[in-house]
């Protein structure tokens, strides 16, 4: 960390960590009370089941491979440089339909109730 509070990392040096979903690995870039940011590597055929986050909106940006994203029953295929938003409370899931691993940047922002 520098004097300005900026953190600089060589992401290539970070190890891929297993997740609780088969075929999914992650590299945490940051975790804060207001949100998170990570890289996710999805092996061919791996599926993250449909789920919801009542308190946070997630964002996905595809770096490599192909991603199938399901949002509230609608499935779309996302190529590299494609982006998806999963609003707080929306049912969503991810799947790699390709023959190669897919790498995705996943960010989440905690939604605060209006005062």
Give per-residue pLDDT as tens, 5-62: 667 779 999 999 999 999 999 999 989 889 999 999 999 999 999 999 999 999 999 9
The SS3 call for residue 65 is coil
CA distance 77 to 98: 11
Q: Which residue has the higher pLDDT, 111 or 115?
A: 111
Closest by CA to 104, choosing from 43, 10, 40, 46, is 40
Every domain of the chain and the residues it spans: 22-69+85-110
DSSP letter assigned to residue 113? P
* pTM of the predicted model as reported, rounded to 2 decimal places: 0.88
Residue 41 token pair: 């590597």
**48 Cβ contact list (under 8 Å, min separation 6):** 21, 24, 42, 93, 94, 95
CATH superfamily of 22-69+85-110: Jelly Rolls (2.60.120.10)
Q: Could you tell me where the DSSP H helices lie in 41-109?
A: none
For residues 102 and 78, is the Cβ–Cβ distance under 8 A?
no
Task: Say what the pLDDT of residue 113 is.
Answer: 59
Task: Say what the pLDDT of residue 20 is.
Answer: 96
């Amino acid at each position: 960390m520098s004097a300005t509070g900026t953190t600089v990392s060589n992401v290539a040096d970070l190890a891929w960590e297993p997740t609780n979903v088969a075929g999914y690995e992650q590299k945490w870039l940051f975790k804060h009370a207001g949100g998170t940011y990570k890289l996710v590597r999805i092996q061919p055929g791996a599926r993250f089941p449909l789920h919801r986050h009542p308190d946070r909106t997630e964002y996905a940006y595809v770096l490599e491979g192909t991603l199938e994203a399901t949002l509230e029953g609608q499935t779309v295929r996302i190529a590299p440089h494609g982006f998806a938003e999963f609003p707080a409370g929306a049912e969503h899931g991810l799947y790699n339909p390709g023959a190669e691993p897919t790498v995705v940047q996943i960010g989440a922002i905690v939604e605060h109730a209006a005062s």
